[in-house]
Chains A and B, each alone.
Chain A
């Protein structure tokens, strides 16, 4: 203790200055925390973040054209797409050389499929040409321009060449343009023809339906969370089982249950007809439209709203409400001015959780959504497994992900991710 009277730094027990010793302790503590987190962080990065980054990279990647037709791409650089004329013999010769190699490796049809997304007919053009080109000899069969046009007159079409030229760079924004209903035209980006515009509508619809689902979840969850928070623990826990039971029942089963309930010959319509409230020939249409999706998804996501609300409401002291009333507030004022503001964090937590989950839903809309009740995820799934336009799927996915991340950021700012509790 006598040391403290001396001038100079305060020393710890082992003689090092206290400041340094504390800093070291802090560093140790940080390191320890990081060591604990590291395995999981590494795990998530490897099993999850990396795959997603890898997939999103496909939305700009476009190596296939320059890889399959390396010489043609170079030769085509000189050609002016707006000239209205097909390119010269050198380009055709390069194409012949490239195609002979590509046909050997069977990659020409893959390229055809890729370019067919941009211009209808290229797929069969490449397939057809591939069969003929196979028998050509580079040295003997020149010149090639006439020969290609002989195979198919489309080879003389500047549009075909413009498409190849437009998509020859290694990276393209074409998929992103496509996913906002635009395309690469002769002079830069332009809107798609009206009868092919779909994605903007789908994004809007996805947002709209997610909002409606979130709103209906708030309306339905609030009373439930309130009653759970205000009942004695034993009965509340019993009711909690009713909330968790649907949560733990297979999503597929719940969705098919809604199908059984909502369809025109379904349970609800049957009951209404039986009660005489609806005529047998005027059964309500409640499925294969937005209504069906909204009802089924509200049901499926409701627990995600109830649980955070409940955990917030549990912390609100009921005596505030009583105090307000004893000070002369009416029931409504007491609720609206005293209770409700305290429950807002719960609403916020639940809403963003539900909204984020809703916006990416896929299976339920697919089964009950019909044509107007489907989400953008359904199109993503379609492009991944049926049309195989993976670049477009990745671009759509990237846009969706950005929206979700923005929401998450807002969520973290407003509520803080630590404040989410489940059950």
Chain B
């Protein structure tokens, strides 16, 4: 979908911008090899030349991009061996794409025709800034993944790993996770506790949210404040409070105690998401149902529930993850029989060094991606149902 008709750029422009990029990356290669200045010059010259040449040959894009890729793989390999070859390859791919992106003016195609060059530049600068922030968000998770394949029992990138030596990698932490009783028991406990807590918070929370969204609720603000409180009270205070209180009534160290504590922590999320969904709920629908003779329970399950379901599900997922990822409260309220996955991870960090927790994290990230995809599909479905988006 092109907004603006474009013509290819002049070789001069392409070469100049490419040279700029080349200089920027050349600086890093240069400092790594000894001097930054030479790096800047070589980088600028190299990419500038490529830009100048390629700008005239936009019809042969594919082979030229492959050639650039190959060139930088070889350059990287000469400079520093296998790891650098990989980096070189990445950069070569980027350089090829970047030069043709400039040369064919594709960058201008999707922007409104009336934008000034300055605005176009800002548009892309802004994208780069956002990209950097996304990198900040995601890097810690990406760093964890290779470390979970570490052949040693530490959270360290060993020289073998950096050389891509297969000896530096192993699946032993995954094996440990799947064969070790402690981990399996912890996983099992988490699976027993989290859904139960979620069920409690979702059922109570949804009812209360429906109550709260009625037009006339006395003491609404105060009630809301109390219901939200588990989210705003600092966790350590909640943990200590529940710990003393639950031990007094004999629930410390019981399955039920942990479930109740986690359900309380998850409730604010359910309340917030469900009330938000109910804001858009058309009240005349329940009246219509009542009008046609449905009793309140039928109305609720057949009319209201299907419509607010996305809110309930997303609140439920938040509640689930709260329980599934909670360590401070369970550490106090639970005992051996309720040792959850995060607790086991906490012990793993404190008492024994074991990248098994990273292996677990990697598995959980994979599961999270699945869950998020499901959530996204559900959202699309609900929006389609409510006719709010083209789907």
Contacts and interface: CB of A to CB of B under 8 A. Distances in A.
Direct touch of chains A and B (CB < 8 A): yes
Interface of A: 26, 29-30, 32-37, 39-41, 43-45, 47-56, 58, 220, 223-224, 227, 233, 237, 239-246, 248-254, 256-261, 265, 267, 270, 274-277, 299, 302, 331, 356, 359-363, 367, 377, 380-381, 384, 390, 393-394, 397, 400-401, 404-405, 408, 412, 417-418, 420-423
A359 B260 CA distance: 25
21 contacts: A40-B267, A41-B208, A43-B204, A44-B230, A51-B238, A52-B233, A52-B237, A55-B237, A55-B245, A245-B141, A246-B138, A248-B321, A252-B342, A252-B346, A253-B357, A257-B143, A361-B235, A380-B237, A404-B232, A408-B225, A423-B318
Given A36-B210, A299-B140, A400 B240 contact: no
A397 B240 contact: yes
Contacts of B235: 360-362, 377
Contacts of B63: none
B28 A275 contact: yes
Given A36-B210, A241-B372, A257-B140, A249 B327 contact: no
B130 A51 contact: no
Among B214, B240, B327, chain A packs the most CB atoms within 10 A around the CB of B240
B385 interface: no
A265 B155 CA distance: 11
B191 interface: no
Contacts of A384: 236, 240
A52 B34 CA distance: 61
Nearest to A404: B232
A257 B234 contact: no
B18 interface: no
A393 B236 CA distance: 10
Describe A's contact surface by its main secondary structure: helix
A276 B346 CA distance: 36
B273 A421 contact: yes
Contacts of A394: 240
Contacts of B241: 48, 51-56
Contacts of A251: 325, 327, 342
A323 to B, nearest CB: 14
Interface in B215-271: 215-218, 221, 223-230, 232-238, 240-246, 248, 260-261, 263-264, 267, 269
B106 interface: no
Contacts of A299: 136-137, 140
A239 B138 CA distance: 11
B275 interface: yes
B289 interface: no
Given A36-B211, A242-B134, A51 B31 contact: no
Contacts of B33: 276
Interface stretch (B51-59, B92-100, B180-188, B360-368): B360-368
A404 B214 contact: no
Nearest to A306: B137
A302 B137 contact: yes
Contacts of B349: 252, 256, 367
A401 B234 contact: yes
B240 A55 contact: yes
Contacts of A26: 216
Nearest to B154: A260
Nearest to B227: A44
Contact of B234 (A58, A237, A270, A397): A397
A380 B236 CA distance: 8
Contacts of B32: 274-276
Given A243-B137, A249-B365, A422-B318, A33 B212 contact: yes
Closest 10 CB pairs of A and B: A360-B234, A36-B211, A276-B31, A51-B245, A55-B241, A257-B140, A40-B208, A253-B361, A51-B241, A33-B214
A342 B204 CA distance: 35
Given A30-B218, A51-B241, A256-B357, 14 more contacts: A33-B216, A37-B223, A43-B263, A52-B233, A54-B244, A55-B237, A241-B373, A242-B137, A253-B358, A277-B31, A361-B235, A380-B237, A390-B244, A404-B234
B208 A250 contact: no
B205 interface: yes
A359 B233 CA distance: 10
A52 B242 CA distance: 7
A48 B208 contact: no
A44 B264 contact: yes
Interface string B94-123: 000000000000000000000000010010
B264 A43 contact: yes
Given A252-B345, A420-B272, A224 B31 contact: no
Contact of B140 (A41, A246, A408): A246
A105 B334 CA distance: 29
Contacts of A259: 155
Q: Most chain-B CB neighbours within 10 Å: which of A29, A49, A244, A356?
A: A244
Nearest to B273: A422
Nearest to B248: A54
A250 B147 CA distance: 16
Contacts of B314: 422-423
B327 A252 contact: yes
B178 interface: no
A387 B293 CA distance: 64
A405 B314 CA distance: 27
B103 to A, nearest CB: 25
A336 to B, nearest CB: 14
A242 B214 contact: no
A55 B244 contact: yes
Contacts of A363: 327-328
Interface in B344-390: 345-346, 349, 357-358, 360-361, 364-365, 368-369, 371-373, 376, 379, 389
A395 to B, nearest CB: 11
A56 to B, nearest CB: 8
B378 to A, nearest CB: 12
B368 A249 contact: yes
Given A47-B261, A224-B134, A40 B205 contact: yes
B30 to A, nearest CB: 8
Contacts of B276: 418, 421
Given A47-B264, A276-B31, A404-B232, A41 B216 contact: no
B139 interface: yes
B66 interface: no
